[in-house]
Structure 1
């Protein structure tokens, strides 16, 4: 706990956190590894199996629309995007990376739901493989921390809890 009375400490207790995970299947060996590491860590942090929804989509470009549908459902405290885009010989890499990231950020902001963007964007397959375990764990930890942070802010900031609407 910080000595600063105005700080909100990181909370990695997953009890009660509802998580939606959308995984792109393109580069599936890599994204399956991200999912396994992420799911394992979510469970280790105390997120209940029944509080995790895992869906897959064809590729990184399909992540934002799927995340939007989950965000609009109101069923999740936090969402996670898992994917892998490896640079090829054409400009397609830049388009997919940029548009996917833009879409994910837009969905988070428009729906007031934190989204952990763990879409690996690497130059080589070896770089992606090297990152699978660490980034999968990071995705889970960030998801739990952000889910808790949003609930803490909702409970402690005036105007966010809905209490003022009754006045």
Structure 2
């Protein structure tokens, strides 16, 4: 059985895994940091650099369609969704947060493929900055752990 302590990527073994990352460009300074932390954690856990595919999309609402394209391509052990939605003055925040989250979950279930959802939703930029590195690393750990778990359940 796989047991990994939070924050300890060395407890995870990503060797032999193929991971796809879909990153929204909206709030790019945040999503770039999410992607850097995610990628570094994957590498630290033994995922080969050439086994990580990284795709950029305009915003969080476009993340699910790119995830779907990767899932349909096949060959991935897990996918990662990266984005940042910061509350504004209109209802748009709720729409984007809810629909992007629902799309990621539906794809994971439909394709029976782990998708670590690190589309962060915050009230303001300061909260996003405070979460960007840890959430990116968390997404990598979740992707590896779930990929390994599903391998053992097959």
Superposed pair shares fold, TM > 0.5: yes
On the 8 A contact 2:25/2:31 being kept in 1, the answer is yes
On the 8 A contact 1:61/1:100 being kept in 2, the answer is yes
Q: 3-state SS of the aligned residue for 2:151?
A: helix
- Residues paired across the two proteins, number: 147
Structure 1 residues 71-82: aligned runs within 5 Å: 71-82=71-82
On the 8 A contact 2:2/2:145 being kept in 1, the answer is no
Within 2, Cα distance between the matches of 1:129 and 1:108? 27
Unmatched 5+ stretches in structure 1: 1-7, 155-167
What displacement does 1:72 show? 1.3
Deviations 1:71-94 (A, max 9, x none): 111110000000000000000000
Within 2, Cα distance between the matches of 1:131 and 1:87? 15
Q: Which residue of 2 aligns with 1:92?
A: 92
Within 1, Cα distance between the matches of 2:32 and 2:16? 25
On the 8 A contact 2:21/2:53 being kept in 1, the answer is yes
Q: Does 1:36 align with 2:36?
A: yes
| Higher CA-based Rg | 1
Q: 3-state SS of the aligned residue for 1:121?
A: strand
Q: Which residue of 2 aligns with 1:47?
A: 47
User: Alpha carbon RMSD of aligned pairs, Å?
Assistant: 0.8
Deviations 1:123-166 (A, max 9, x none): 00000000011111101111110111111111xxxxxxxxxxxx
On the 8 A contact 1:18/1:77 being kept in 2, the answer is yes
On the 8 A contact 1:15/1:46 being kept in 2, the answer is yes
Within 2, Cα distance between the matches of 1:10 and 1:95? 36
Scaled by the length of structure 2, the TM-score of the pair is 0.93
Within 2, Cα distance between the matches of 1:69 and 1:55? 11
Q: Which residue of 1 aligns with 2:7?
A: none
Structure 1 residues 1-167: aligned runs within 5 Å: 8-10=1-3, 12-154=12-154
The list of structure 1 runs, each at least 4 consecutive aligned residues, that deviate by more than 2 angstroms after superposition, is 8-11
Unmatched 5+ stretches in structure 2: 5-11
Within 1, Cα distance between the matches of 2:21 and 2:3? 21
Within 2, Cα distance between the matches of 1:63 and 1:42? 20
Scaled by the length of structure 1, the TM-score of the pair is 0.86
